[in-house]
Amino acid sequence: MKHWVKAFRLRTLPLALASIGMGAFLAASSGQFNGGVFTLCALTTILLQVLSNLANDYGDSVHGADGAKRTGPSRAVQSGVISLKAMRNAIILFSALSLLSGIGLIYLAFGWSPQVFGFFLGLGVLAILAAITYTAGYKPYGYMGLGDISVLIFFGLVGVMGSAYLYEQELKWEYLLPAISTGLFSVAVLNVNNIRDIESDKEAGKISIPVRIGRKKAVIYHWFLLVTGFALGLTYVLMNYTSYWQLIIVLALPGLIKNARAVKMHTESSKIDPFLKQMALTTLLYVILFGVGQLVG
């Protein structure tokens, strides 16, 4: 059991919860929060994240990215504590659980409205496919440098705006600012991971953004993600400013600066690794501060 818990990579869950948390805070600030929807939304998100982690473990082991030179936490399949067959079965199980939880969530939010139900079911299926095919399959898109775009879409646009729609059943375009903001911070977490693994990814043929542009430009790209993400969130706050309480999001700045400086200063993979978790927690803190500011303000 401990090997499975480790394979679930629980330290990634704060990032997964950040996007649906942002959507919940936005809906709550409009008086549209629903506890049941939030519970099922959180459950579905956690199941999808665990599915993604298991598929990532499986795919990177099969394609060779989890070789001996990789510095991050050891993977279950690569280290031999979980077999390929067992991991494949776990991927199937969590795909089914994610789908069932998602169907329950859609029904609770919309009932059996055919058009809306079908649309969100399609989004759910796409999310499952995206989670699996990031590193698994014949041509995993993560090996072509498309992981950043996928994270921006699913952790930003879909995660925030989609979850807000579950509560409000209304598409508000001004939510694009906090949605992209959260998405960019999520991409930053992936970028820390990819900078850490740049050498092992090169050898495995995994052409991540850092591999494609080099470490120096990847650090500049990292600063761009953090600065732009925070600027978009602050812009939304100023556009909807009613109280100084909304400015408490600036308390997330020290964590963002610390992460950006660490990525620039540290060149050893082992020293970069702790800042993956730190960036994920900083993203969640940013979302909480943003949400509290909106509710109190």
Confidence at residue 168, expressed as pLDDT on a 0 to 100 scale: 94
Span 59-102, pLDDT tens digits: 877 765 555 454 556 667 777 788 888 889 999 999 999 999 99
pLDDT at residue 251, rounded to an integer: 97
* Per-residue pLDDT, 73: 61
Containing structural domain, residue 167: 1-296
Question: What is the predicted pLDDT for the residue at 71?
Answer: 55
**Arithmetic mean of pLDDT over the chain:** 91
The count of structural domains within the chain is 1
Q: Is the pLDDT of residue 153 over 60?
A: yes
Enter the tokens of residue 9.
């990579």
Whether 34 has a pLDDT exceeding 90, the answer reads yes
Cα separation, 201 vs 102, in Å, equals 33
Confidence of residue 210 (pLDDT cuts 50, 70, 90): very high
Residue-wise pLDDT for 171-193, tens only, equals 999 999 999 999 999 999 999 99
Q: Does pTM top 0.85 for this prediction?
A: yes
Contact 259/279 with Cβ under 8 angstroms?
yes
Structure confidence at residue 39 as a pLDDT band (50, 70, 90) = very high
Q: What is the 3-state secondary structure (H, E, C) of the chain?
A: CHHHHHHHCHHHHHHHHHHHHHHHHHHHHCCCCCHHHHHHHHHHHHHHHHHHHHHHHHHHHHHCCCCCCCCCCCCHHHHCCCCHHHHHHHHHHHHHHHHHHHHHHHHHHHCCCHHHHHHHHHHHHHHHHHHHHCCCCCCCHHHHCCHHHHHHHHHHHHHHHHHHHHHHCCCCHHHHHHHHHHHHHHHHHHHHHHHHCHHHHHHHCCCCHHHHHCHHHHHHHHHHHHHHHHHHHHHHHHHCCCCHHHHHHHHHHHHHHHHHHHHHHCCCHHHHCHHHHHHHHHHHHHHHHHHHHHHHC
